[in-house]
Amino acid sequence: MINNKRFIAVIGGGQCSKAEAKLAEEVGRELARQGVILVCGGLGGVMEAACKGASSQGGITIGILPGDSRQAANRYVQIPIVTGIGYARNVAVVKSAQAVIAVGGSYGTLSEISHALQSGIPVIGLNTWALSRNSQQDNSIIPAQNPTEAVNKALELATDQ
């Protein structure tokens, strides 16, 4: 039964360090343990590590892909969504989630963080971007010290749009 599940996105680089992969995998495991459906961009790096973690605990994983083929999905994606719209799919990744957990990441991840904040979707950060505007710090990205704290904060703040 999938009804009434919560959806959390995990975002981060398509390539990542071992430390980031370890964090993302543990985020995925914890999401699955708490019965949350994992949404991601469906590719490698942080996305694959998170899906691997979730799958290991019997969780459900959704990969919203940029290209034209489901073959591009990492092997732990159970539900590939094939958008064909390139990086514009970043908008769909965050909008399909009730909260977002960012692990590391480069400019693609920053675009997802931005789209989430623009839509009022909470963003929890693990070793990720920090923002300031006109020399004033912007504290919209909520820091977490570890994967469990990240998942707990995400679930606490999850919104329903």
**Sites of contact with a copy of itself (CB under 8 A):** 2-3, 5, 7, 37, 60, 62, 64, 68-71, 78-88, 91-92, 95-96, 104, 106-108, 110-111, 113-115, 117-119, 127-135, 140, 160-161
Least Cα distance to 8 among 125, 78, 95 occurs for 95
In the bound state with a copy of itself, the residue whose beta carbon lies nearer, of 131 and 157, is 131
Give me the least distance between CB of 136 and a copy of itself, in Å please: 10
Is 62 or 151 the residue whose CB approaches a copy of itself more closely?
62
Closer CB to a copy of itself, residue 92 or residue 151? 92
**Token output for 76:** 């732990």
Asked if 116 and 100 count as a contact pair (C-beta separation under 8 A), the reply is yes
Exposed e or buried b for every residue in 32-70, given b needs 16+ CB within 10 A?
bebebbbbbbbbbbbbbbbbbbbbeeebbbbbbbbbeee
Compute the CA torsion angle 9, 152, 118, 84 (nearest 10 deg).
Answer: 0
Amino acid, single-letter form, for residue 96? S
Instruction: Provide the minimum distance between the beta carbon of 111 and a copy of itself in the complex, in angstroms, as a whole number.
Output: 4
For residue 99, what are its two tokens?
A: 């909260």
CB of 113 to a copy of itself, least distance (A): 8
Nearer to a copy of itself, 129 or 149 (CB): 129
What's 104's DSSP letter?
Answer: S
Tokens 């489901």 identify what position?
A: 70
CB 90 to a copy of itself: min, Å: 8
**Which residue number, 25 or 59, has a Cβ lying nearer to a copy of itself?**
59
